[in-house]
Amino acid sequence: MKTALVHSEAYQRFDYGPSHPLRMERLGLTYALMDAYGLTGLPETRVIPPQPTPPEVLRGFHTPDYLDVLRAASAGVAVPGAQRYGLGPGDNPIWPGMYEASALACGGSIAAADLVAAGEVTRAFAFAGGLHHAMPDRASGFCYLNDAVLAIRALRARGLRVCYVDIDAHHGDGVQDAFYQEAEVLTISTHERGDHLFPGTGFADEIGEGAGRGYSVNLPLHPYTDDAVYLEAFAAVVPPIVRAFRPDVVVSQLGIDSHRTDPLTHLALSVEGFAEAVRQIVGLAPRLVALGGGGYDLANVARAWTAAWALMNDVTLPAELPAPFLAGATRHLHGRTRLWDGAALLPAEVVGAAREYAQRQVREIERLIFPILGVH
Ligand SMILES: [Zn+2]
């Protein structure tokens, strides 16, 4: 089983600013943990650096206007009306090099897609990608350019059927919108319910339009959804739908802001629960392009994506984090020394409310989607 990991030290040069929750050092920390576990030098694995995506490829999804504004603002030019493109103080600040950083992350995801499409590797992981909120003409939710859409387009250009599975705590709205009317790309997103969390969409009745009707699947979840509740709902929906669709390639956004210590969301998964979902996605994917995504507790990002990369390489990791990593990452770990978390202890009524909500969503998906896709 050949695999590829996309990584560049260049990601570290970029910075959203000191008060922004998306810390670029999360990528270096993740790579350091993969490396400490020996996962960057496996015999069947190659580590490849990304190349920036050229503007003509970005125009496959983004409007020329928006790309011009993004590039000018990134170069320090004051652009009147930048707010109309989602740029400015708040979620999508203007910072030097944001265009280059975003184009590099896109290049990583497209490189992963190209390697998988060409049959050079079976599974590839571009963990700087997964910026699923970016829209054709505006930045949204910390995302300037939508690498996931562009990676899927690269696969579609080779005639491949793509299933997109997004397990970030936020709805994968930019990707859903991009393929909402297409039957050759099936999108599935599991996330905290949109009436509680950004971006406010992703309800079970958003099922696609026209030829794409039945090819957008949304599993919204109640706050404090834990591993058990999540995995029950996931198992009821994701494997049967993926099997019925029979994709050539699965593209998966592996945001870990679903974790119970994440500062921005209210789901209650552990690294174990996340890893079990990833294990199932890997098992369902004839070929896999895995992307990163959200995750604002840096120790979770490093642990979860290292666990995911180990699964993609069929490697079992020791639970104790390697000593050299512990020594170098102390300030991010807050006392944690293990890859896994242990069970959450939530009150029974809290878990019951989350389970009741999840089961209702599963029934909606069974009613709305299963007949169209022929799921039995
Ligand atoms: Zn997110």
Residue 54 pLDDT more than 80?
yes
pLDDT tens string 315-338: 999 999 999 999 999 899 999 999
Q: Which amino acids are annotated catalytic?
A: 133
Which pLDDT value is given to residue 167? 98
**Average pLDDT value for residue range 85-109:** 96
The pLDDT of residue 14 is: 82
For ligand 1, the distance from its centroid to the CA atom of residue 188, given in whole angstroms, is: 15
**Residue 343 clears pLDDT 90, i.e. is over it:** no
Q: How far is the CA of 371 from the centre of ligand 1 (A)?
A: 30
Q: Region 332-349: what's the mean pLDDT?
A: 93
pLDDT at 15 over 90: no
**Ligand 1 center to residue 289 CA distance, Å?**
18
DSSP 143: B
What sign does the CA torsion over 158, 161, 166, 172 have? positive
Q: Distance, CA 293 to ligand 1 centroid (Å)?
A: 6
Q: What is the DSSP letter of 320?
A: B
Backbone Cα Rg of the chain: 19
Cα of 94 vs its chain's centroid, Å: 23
Residue 101 has pLDDT above 90, yes or no: yes
Please report how the helices 271-284 and 227-245 are oriented relative to each other, as an axis angle in degrees rounded to 10. 10
Ligand 1 centroid to residue 253 C-alpha, Å: 10
- For residues 351 and 62, give the distance between their C-alpha atoms in angstroms, rounded to a whole number: 41
Eight-class DSSP state of 41: S
pLDDT band at 12 (very low <50, low <70, confident <90, very high): confident
Q: What is the DSSP letter of 191?
A: E
Residues, the chain: 376
> Is there a contact between 139 and 70 (Cβ–Cβ < 8 Å)?
yes
Any bridge partners for residue 290, and if so which?
125, 252
Q: Give the relative orientation of helices 298-312 and 25-36 as an angle to the nearest 10 degrees.
A: 50
Q: So what's the pLDDT on residue 19?
A: 87
pLDDT for 13 beyond 80: no
133 CA to centre of ligand 1 in angstroms: 9
Task: Assign residue 15 a region (left: φ > 0; alpha: ψ between -120 and 50; beta: otherwise).
Answer: beta
Q: What is the mean pLDDT of residues 87-116?
A: 96
| Lookup result for tokens 């079970």 | 204
218 CA from centroid of ligand 1 (Å): 15
Q: pLDDT of 194-227, one tens digit each?
A: 999 999 999 999 999 999 999 999 999 999 999 9
Determine how many CB atoms are found less than 10 A away from the CB of residue 187.
30
Q: Ligand 1 mean position to 23 CA, how many Å?
A: 13
pLDDT category, 350, cuts 50, 70, 90? very high
Cα-flanking dihedrals φ and ψ of residue 2, to 5°?
A: -90, 140
Note whether 214 and 179 are within 8 A (CB).
no
What pLDDT is attached to residue 322? 98
Stretch 290-295: mean pLDDT, rounded?
98
Query: Can you give the pLDDT at residue 126?
Result: 98
Average pLDDT over residues 24-49: 96
Q: How far is the CA of 295 from the centre of ligand 1 (A)?
A: 7
| Phi, psi values for residue 121, rounded to 5° | -135, 160
Query: In the structure encoding, which two tokens stand for residue 98, read together?
Result: 């944001």
H helices of 285-347, where? 298-312, 323-328, 330-333
What is d(CA 218, CA 205) in angstroms, rounded to the nearest whole number? Answer: 8
pLDDT of 212 reads 98
In tens, the pLDDT along 247-288 reads: 999 999 999 999 999 999 999 999 999 999 999 999 999 999
Burial of 296 (0-12, 13-18, 19+ CB in 10 A): buried
Q: Can you spell out the DSSP letters for 44-98?
A: TEEEE---PPPHHHHTTTS-HHHHHHHHHHHTT---TTGGGGT-SSSSS---TTH
Please tell me the distance between residue 307's alpha carbon and the centre of ligand 1 in angstroms. Answer: 19
Residue 1 has, within 13 A of its CA and on its CB side, a CA count of: 13
Q: Ligand 1 mean position to 374 CA, how many Å?
A: 31
Separation of CA 142 and ligand 1 centre (Å): 9
- The whole-angstrom separation of Cα 214 and Cα 33 is 40
Q: Which residues hold their Cβ within 5 A of ligand 1, which is an ion?
A: 168-170, 255, 257, 294
**Which single residue is written with the structure tokens 């979860």?**
304
Contact 332, 29 (CB under 8 A): yes
